C-alpha cells in the first residue's frame, strides 16, 4: 500500500509519527510525508520522501495575524487555534497538497491530529483517513473551533462537512490512559498506539557518556520555540549546586555560549531522546507531548516547565498522575526548577508513579502491531 503522512511543519508534530512510518515500511508499504519543504531534515535521514506542500509555520502565523489582527504566539484563543490549523494553513496548503497527492495516488492518508490538510485531501480523493492523536484530547472549545473553521472548506468543495474534530475513519491514540484528559474522546473508532522516545534511524551509535560517579543523573532539555521555556544556561547553573550529574541539550544553540563548567555538565546541541534517557533519574523539560510520553515510556519522573497551552495540558496530566511536578507561570525561575528536582530525587513516590506509567505504556500495542492492523482495516 502507498501511504501518505501529513503533519504540521514542526518537529514535535512529525517525530511521533516516525515509529509507525518505519513499521509500515518494514512491512513492505511505501510511505512518504507531506509537509513544508524545510522539514526535509527531519524526514530524509530515515530514507522517507518528503513531498513539499504548504508554507512554514512562520508564514501561517503571519497569515493568521493578517486575517485576525492578533498574534497567536502571544495568546491562543480557541478561535485563533482554529484559524491557524484548520483555516489559514489549510487555505495556504490544500491545493498544492491535492495536486501532489493525486499524482502519488495513496491508498491511505494518516494525519497527526492538528493537521487539517490531510483529512481534506483524503475526503476529496475518497481514500481512508486515519488520525494520529499525538497529544491528550484537546479542550472541547478548541475542538469545536477547529470543526467550525474546517466546515466551509469542505462545503465549498462539495464534500460532507465533519461534525466534530478530529475526524476520520480511525483514531490512533498515542496518549497513555493515565495522561488522557477527563471527558469523552472523539466519537471515532480508536486504536491505542504505544508512544516511543524519538530514536535516530538505523540504531545510530549512542553518544559518549561521562564516567559513572554514583550521583543521580538529571537530563535537561527545553523547547526551541521562542518564549516556550526558560533560558537553559541559568537553569543549568542553578542545578549545578546539587550533587548530581547533568546532561543537557541546547536545542541547536551553540554549546560553547552558555558559560558552564563542562566538567559538571555533559552538553549536546541535539540528540534523539532515546539516546539520552538511559540511567537518568529525573528529566526537566518543557511539556511537549513527544518528550512527555517518551520520558514516561522510560519510567522517569519529570519536572515540567511549560510555556504553551499544549505544554500546560501535558504538564497538568503528568502531575495529576503523580509522575512529576508542573511549574506554573511565574514560578519557573532557576531556583524553582532546582527545588523541584531536589524534591523528585528525595521522594520515591514520584519514581514509583513513573514506573507505573512506564508499565502502562509498555502494555499498549507497538507500532508494528498497529501497522499490521491498520492496513488490514483498509482491506489491503
In which band, very low, low, confident or very high, does the pLDDT at 209 lie, cut at 50, 70 and 90? low
- Average of pLDDT values for 186-204? 82
Check pLDDT > 60 for residue 253. no
CA distance 10 to 8: 6
Q: Residue for cell digits 497513555?
A: 176
Q: What is the percent of the chain with per-residue pLDDT over 90, rounded to a whole number? A: 61
Give per-residue pLDDT as tens, 133-181.
Answer: 998 888 889 999 999 999 999 999 999 998 888 888 899 999 999 998 7
CA angle, 291 then 222 then 259, to 5°: 145
Q: What is the pLDDT of residue 112?
A: 97
Q: Cβ contacts of residue 247 below 8 Å, gap of 6+?
A: 210, 217, 218, 219, 220, 265, 266, 267, 268, 276, 280
Q: What is the pLDDT of residue 183?
A: 64
Q: Residue for cell digits 529525573?
A: 282
- Residue 305's nearest CA partner among 293, 321, 320, 292 is 292
Give per-residue pLDDT as tens, 280-332.
Answer: 999 999 888 888 999 999 999 999 998 877 788 889 889 999 999 999 888 88
Task: Extract the C-alpha cell encoding 126.
Answer: 475518497
φ, ψ dihedrals at 288, nearest 5°: -60, 145
- Domains in the chain, please, with CATH? 2-195+364-377 (3.40.50.2000), 217-362 (3.40.50.2000)
Q: What is the pLDDT of residue 261?
A: 65
Please answer whether residues 210 and 245 qualify as being in contact, where contact means their C-beta atoms are separated by less than 8 angstroms: yes
How is the chain split among helix, strand and coil, in percent rounded to 5? 45, 15, 40
In which band, very low, low, confident or very high, does the pLDDT at 215 lie, cut at 50, 70 and 90? confident
- Residue 246's nearest CA partner among 235, 257, 254 is 235
Q: Per residue in 176-206, is it b (16+ CB within 10 Å) or e — as a string?
A: bebbebeeeebebeebbbbbbbbbeeeeeee
Check pLDDT > 70 for residue 223. no
Q: What is the pLDDT of residue 257?
A: 54
Check pLDDT > 80 for residue 213. no
Q: What is the pLDDT of residue 126?
A: 96
- pTM of the predicted model over 0.85: yes
Return the axis-axis angle of helices 140-155 and 89-104, rounded to nearest 10°.
60
- Average of pLDDT values for 239-253? 81
- Average of pLDDT values for 41-69? 94
- Average of pLDDT values for 115-128? 97
Q: What is the pLDDT of residue 365?
A: 97
In which band, very low, low, confident or very high, does the pLDDT at 254 lie, cut at 50, 70 and 90? low
Q: What is the percent of the chain with per-residue pLDDT over 70, rounded to a whole number? A: 90
Of residues 262 and 252, the one with the higher pLDDT is 262
CA distance 101 to 129: 13
Q: What is the mean pLDDT of the chain?
A: 88
Q: What is the pLDDT of residue 332?
A: 86
Cis peptide before 208 (omega within 30 of 0): no
In which band, very low, low, confident or very high, does the pLDDT at 71 lie, cut at 50, 70 and 90? confident
CA distance 166 to 117: 12
Q: What is the pLDDT of residue 260?
A: 66
Give per-residue pLDDT as tens, 2-53.
Answer: 999 999 999 889 999 999 999 999 999 999 999 999 999 889 899 999 999 9
Rg over CA atoms, the chain: 21
Amino acid at each position: 500500500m502507498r501511504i501518505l503522512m501529513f503533519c504540521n511543519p514542526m518537529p514535535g508534530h512529525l517525530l511521533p509519527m516516525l515509529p509507525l512510518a518505519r513499521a509500515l515500511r518494514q512491512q513492505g508499504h511505501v510511505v512518504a510525508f507531506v509537509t513544508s519543504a524545510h522539514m526535509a531534515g527531519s524526514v530524509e535521514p530515515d530514507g522517507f520522501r518528503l513531498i513539499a506542500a504548504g508554507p512554514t509555520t512562520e508564514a501561517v502565523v503571519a497569515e493568521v495575524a493578517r486575517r485576525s489582527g492578533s498574534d497567536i504566539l502571544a495568546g491562543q484563543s480557541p478561535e485563533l487555534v482554529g484559524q491557524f490549523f484548520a483555516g489559514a494553513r489549510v487555505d495556504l496548503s490544500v491545493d498544492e497538497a491535492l495536486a501532489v497527492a493525486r499524482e502519488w495516488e495513496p491508498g491511505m492518508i494518516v494525519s497527526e491530529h492538528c493537521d487539517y490538510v490531510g483529512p481534506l485531501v483524503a475526503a476529496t480523493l475518497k481514500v481512508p483517513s486515519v488520525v494520529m492523536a499525538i497529544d491528550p484530547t484537546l479542550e472541547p472549545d478548541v475542538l469545536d473551533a477547529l470543526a467550525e473553521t474546517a466546515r466551509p472548506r469542505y462545503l465549498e468543495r462539495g464534500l460532507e462537512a465533519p461534525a466534530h474534530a478530529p475526524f476520520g475513519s480511525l483514531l490512533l491514540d498515542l496518549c497513555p490512559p493515565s495522561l488522557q484528559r477527563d471527558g469523552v474522546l472523539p466519537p471515532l473508532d480508536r486504536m491505542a498506539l504505544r508512544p516511543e522516545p524519538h530514536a535516530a534511524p538505523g540504531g545510530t551509535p549512542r553518544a559518549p557518556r561521562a564516567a559513572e560517579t554514583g550521583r543521580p543523573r538529571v537530563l535537561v532539555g527545553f523547547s526551541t520555540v521562542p518564549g516556550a521555556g526558560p533560558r537553559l544556561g541559568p537553569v543549568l547553573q542553578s542545578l549545578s549546586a546539587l550533587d548530581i550529574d547533568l546532561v543537557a541539550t541546547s536545542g541547536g544553540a551553540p554549546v560553547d555560549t552558555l558559560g558552564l563548567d563542562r566538567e559538571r555538565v555533559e552538553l549536546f546541541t541535539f540528540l534523539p531522546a532515546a539516546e539520552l534517557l538511559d540511567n537518568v533519574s529525573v528529566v526537566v523539560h518543557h511539556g511537549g507531548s513527544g518528550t512527555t510520553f517518551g520520558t514516561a515510556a522510560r519510567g522517569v519522573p519529570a519536572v515540567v516547565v511549560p510555556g504553551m497551552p499544549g505544554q500546560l495540558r501535558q504538564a497538568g496530566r503528568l502531575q495529576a498522575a503523580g509522575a512529576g511536578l508542573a511549574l506554573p507561570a511565574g514560578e519557573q525561575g532557576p531556583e524553582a526548577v532546582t527545588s523541584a528536582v531536589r524534591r523528585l530525587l528525595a521522594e520515591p513516590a514520584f519514581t514509583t508513579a513513573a514506573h507505573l506509567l512506564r508499565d502502562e505504556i509498555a502494555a499498549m500495542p507497538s507500532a508494528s502491531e498497529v501497522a499490521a492492523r491498520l492496513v488490514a482495516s483498509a482491506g489491503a
